[in-house]
Structure 1
Amino acid sequence: MHLLILIFGIVLLPKATTLKCYECVGSESCTGTEKECPSKGFQCAVMRIASYEVGAKVADRHMRSCVGAEQCTEGTVNFGITKTAITSKCCTADLCNIQPAPEPNNPIPNGRKCYNCNGKTCTETLNCEGDEDHCISAIVSAGGENKIMKGCASSQMCPNVSAGDIIPAFEGQVICCQGNFCNSASITRTRLLLLVAPLVSAAILS
């Protein structure tokens, strides 16, 4: 009887435990504190958010934390002058998120085209790059004014797919669509990704 209890305990114990992951936001080498994930379905992750202006990198932020499997994603949001690229690396062992996330690839044009804004005019052409297979339109509010932004995005970064349920950054309106120049329509959705925030903020303040 005691042997059976021991065997069941050994078998069931791993299912009851959750991972411990590093949690921090900062440089490539930050480790911060150790955090126990809230449930068995979470993984340890390190994410890299690189922001660019006119092709030059202006920010390179690293985050380590527990995340759901659907948040282990990567992609880009490209508004022409400004762009944000996200890479991530997820793992399923205690404190395994010590290695940095990879550097974003150097993308090349993929043949897709979307509308882009220059001031209040949103009729310019933007050549999408890499895995940017959607067009995106966004309205953001800054300083009491609304600003329209249009460009290209990877499907993983769009709010109408599962990866879009990452924590919203701020109130705004955004929509993604597929097809060349499909982002001429009005915007009706009301969710904007946390990962888009550095890009949008840079564009508004520039």
Structure 2
Amino acid sequence: MYLVTLILGIVLLPEARTLRCYECTSEQTGTCTETTTQCPSEKYQCAALRLVSYTGSSEVSNLFGKSCALPEECDQHSINYGVSRTIVTSKCCSTDLCNTQPAPEPSKTNPNGRKCFTCDGQTCTKTLNCHGNEDRCISTTGSMTSVLNFMFYM
């Protein structure tokens, strides 16, 4: 009897329902052809994302997309290389197909008092002022192209 009750309970339990979200990635033309996707688990939210890169104070790219994202990805993040800075902003929501609006432009931030060393060619003794929520220094080697590709596909 207990076995029958257990089997019926498992069969009749509703499966966890995951969100349906819009999904797209901007193209060179700046358009984003939307499709819909089912999020992989109930932990995910719908998100609109924007990746903006700067060299100095000049904007060099502004890419955007829509997808499923974990809650910890729903914020503004940045990485500052000294000569360039990349900022990822997102806007998340938790109902089906709610990610209709684009992610916000990055907010303007001021230096936060933290400093990291930065390299100028082979010399790595210059300091870099961190901005906004930049709170960690990292050390890496490689070309700028490979680092930016890593950031975009993270």
Q: TM-score surpassing 0.5?
A: yes
Identity %: 47
Equivalent-residue separation in structure 2 for 1:117 and 1:196 (angstroms): 22
Alignment of 1:154-169 (within 5 A): none
Alignment of 1:1-206 (within 5 A): 13=14, 16-26=16-26, 30-140=32-142, 142=143, 194-195=150-151
Equivalent-residue separation in structure 2 for 1:68 and 1:22 (angstroms): 15
Equivalent-residue separation in structure 2 for 1:41 and 1:122 (angstroms): 41
Runs of 4+ in 1 over 4 A off after TM superposition: none
Equivalent-residue separation in structure 2 for 1:48 and 1:102 (angstroms): 7
Relative distance call for 1:65 and 1:71 in structure 2 (3 A) is: same
**Cα offset, 1:53, TM superposition:** 0.6
Kindly report the root-mean-square deviation, in angstroms, between the aligned alpha carbons of the 2 structures. 2.6
Give the match for residue 8 of structure 2: none
SS at match of 1:105: coil
- Normalised to the residue count of structure 2, the TM-score between the two structures is 0.78
Structure 1, unmatched stretches of 5+, are 1-11, 148-169, 173-191, 198-206
Give the match for residue 177 of structure 1: none
Equivalent-residue separation in structure 2 for 1:119 and 1:130 (angstroms): 26
SS at match of 1:134: coil
SS at match of 1:138: coil
- Normalised to the residue count of structure 1, the TM-score between the two structures is 0.60
After superposition, the C-alpha distances for 1:41-73 in whole angstroms (9 at most, x for unaligned) are: 211111110000111101001011112223223
Structure 2, unmatched stretches of 5+, are 1-12
My pick for the range that moved more, 27-36 or 69-78, is: 27-36
